[in-house]
């Protein structure tokens, strides 16, 4: 549609064209661009956001603005008549917004400023304030279009990611519902009288897994750092009978609830690992915040320890890598594991 508009502008320009052959050449280049875009969209859409094609599209927009001054008689560039570029510069800048993100702002400004080059080709020299304002309006409009386009693309991509994540969770939920949840129900039913403790663990695990899969995880008392850590430790102690000491020094800084939940989850997993694998007899959890809301926490145990490098290299400790290190990375924090065989383990956690 943009090309048809440009063709109409050229067809009805008549005697106003000083170089009609150049105008036709530009029309052919635009038509080639339209054809390549259509073919790529149908067969190889990934090419449309590759740097060479984006540069080609922006170069074509600059060529149209530049050619607008060259193909017409002098005095045309700031006249009220239709220009040769039409809406192609806007299309090119929006294309750049999809492919380049915020860099589309600079691309839009550069394309708009190319009107000055078109004025040189039109042999225009009698500049006044209104002419500079005219070019500036094009620069600002195209730069803003690039910025708004990039912002919308970022929002759409985030929404797409969230939709895909929701679908993936639904698929996992269906699978776990048909396997793990049913198994927990059977375990609870068959051990209700013979092993009440095991039945209680199965019932609690079933409830927590359902809350995670089918709704927001229940975290009624985890809004503060201390409450979150104690709740995480209590859940582990409900499964493993091991003493855990929790010490929290909270300076009252502005802690983020998402990071508090991530830290509590990582601490809970660290305590569970120590109770299950380390043969520990005592675990100490310590955490403190500063005025800025940064949090430092440690989980120490007196267990058998392990070879940290070997565990990370072989990825045998999934709880360590995924539930502790991975959880902290996702919350813009970090984790460090220090362990000596026979001398226990210390896990250090930082959030900001």
Instruction: Name the pLDDT band for 319 (thresholds 50, 70, 90).
Output: low
Burial of 107 (0-12, 13-18, 19+ CB in 10 A): buried
The pLDDT assigned to 218 comes to 41
User: pLDDT over 90 for what percent of the chain?
Assistant: 20
Place of tokens 């380049």: 100
Please tell me the distance from the alpha carbon of residue 310 to that of residue 293, in angstroms, as a whole number: 34
Q: Do 22 and 66 contact (CB within 8 A), yes or no?
A: no
The pLDDT assigned to 219 comes to 45
Place of tokens 């104690």: 230
The pLDDT assigned to 19 comes to 84
Please tell me the distance from the alpha carbon of residue 277 to that of residue 284, in angstroms, as a whole number: 16
**Helix, strand, coil share of the chain (percent; to 5):** 65, 10, 25
DSSP state of 218: P
State the number of CA atoms in the 13 A half-sphere of 314 facing the CB. Answer: 8
State the number of CA atoms in the 13 A half-sphere of 219 facing the CB. Answer: 20
The pLDDT assigned to 206 comes to 78
pTM: 0.51
Paired with 334 in beta bridges are 350
Please tell me the distance from the alpha carbon of residue 195 to that of residue 291, in angstroms, as a whole number: 48
pLDDT in tens, 237-288: 777 778 889 998 876 666 677 788 888 888 988 888 888 888 888 899 999 9
The pLDDT assigned to 253 comes to 62
Choose among 211, 270, 222, 206: nearest CA to 244.
270
Place of tokens 């036709």: 24
Please tell me the distance from the alpha carbon of residue 84 to that of residue 95, in angstroms, as a whole number: 19
User: What average pLDDT does this structure show over 45-74?
Assistant: 88
Most confident of the ranges 69-83, 88-102, 119-133: 88-102
Q: Is the pLDDT of residue 143 over 90?
A: yes
DSSP state of 343: S
Which stretches does DSSP call E strand in the chain?
244-249, 283-289, 295-301, 334-339, 345-351
Between 81-90, 311-320, 331-340, the lowest mean confidence (pLDDT) is in 311-320
Average pLDDT along the chain: 83
Say how many C-beta atoms besides its own lie within 10 A of residue 134's C-beta: 13
């Amino acid at each position: 549609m943009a090309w048809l508009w440009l063709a109409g502008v050229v067809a009805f320009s008549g005697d106003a064209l000083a170089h009609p052959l150049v105008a036709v050449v530009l029309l052919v280049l635009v038509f080639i661009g339209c054809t390549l875009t259509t073919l790529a969209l149908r067969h190889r859409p990934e090419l449309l956001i590759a740097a060479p094609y984006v540069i080609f599209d922006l170069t074509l927009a600059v060529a149209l603005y530049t050619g607008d001054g060259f193909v017409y008689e002098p005095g045309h560039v700031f006249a009220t008549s239709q220009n040769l570029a039409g809406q192609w510069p806007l299309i090119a800048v929006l294309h750049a917004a999809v492919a380049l993100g915020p860099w589309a702002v600079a691309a839009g400004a550069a394309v708009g400023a190319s009107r000055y080059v078109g004025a040189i080709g039109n042999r225009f020299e009698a500049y006044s304030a209104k002419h500079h304002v005219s070019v500036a309006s094009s620069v600002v409009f195209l730069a803003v279009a690039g910025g708004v386009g990039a912002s919308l693309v970022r929002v759409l991509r985030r929404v797409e990611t969230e939709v895909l994540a929701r679908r993936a969770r639904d698929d996992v939920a269906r699978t776990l519902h048909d396997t793990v949840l049913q198994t927990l129900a059977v375990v609870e039913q068959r051990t209700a009288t013979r092993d009440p403790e095991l039945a209680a663990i199965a019932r609690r695990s079933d409830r927590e897994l359902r809350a995670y899969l089918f709704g927001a995880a229940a975290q009624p008392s985890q809004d503060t750092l201390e409450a979150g850590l104690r709740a995480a430790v209590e859940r582990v102690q409900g499964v493993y009978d091991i003493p855990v000491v929790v010490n929290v020094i909270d300076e009252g800084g502005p802690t983020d609830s998402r990071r508090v939940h991530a830290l509590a989850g990582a601490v809970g997993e660290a305590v569970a690992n120590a109770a299950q694998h380390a043969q520990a007899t005592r675990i100490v959890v310590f955490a403190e915040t500063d005025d800025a809301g940064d949090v430092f926490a440690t989980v120490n145990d007196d267990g058998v320890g392990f070879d940290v490098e070997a565990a990370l290299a072989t990825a045998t400790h999934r709880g360590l890598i995924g539930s502790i290190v991975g959880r902290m990375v996702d919350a813009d924090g970090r984790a460090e594991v220090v362990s000596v065989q026979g001398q226990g383990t210390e896990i250090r956690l930082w959030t900001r």
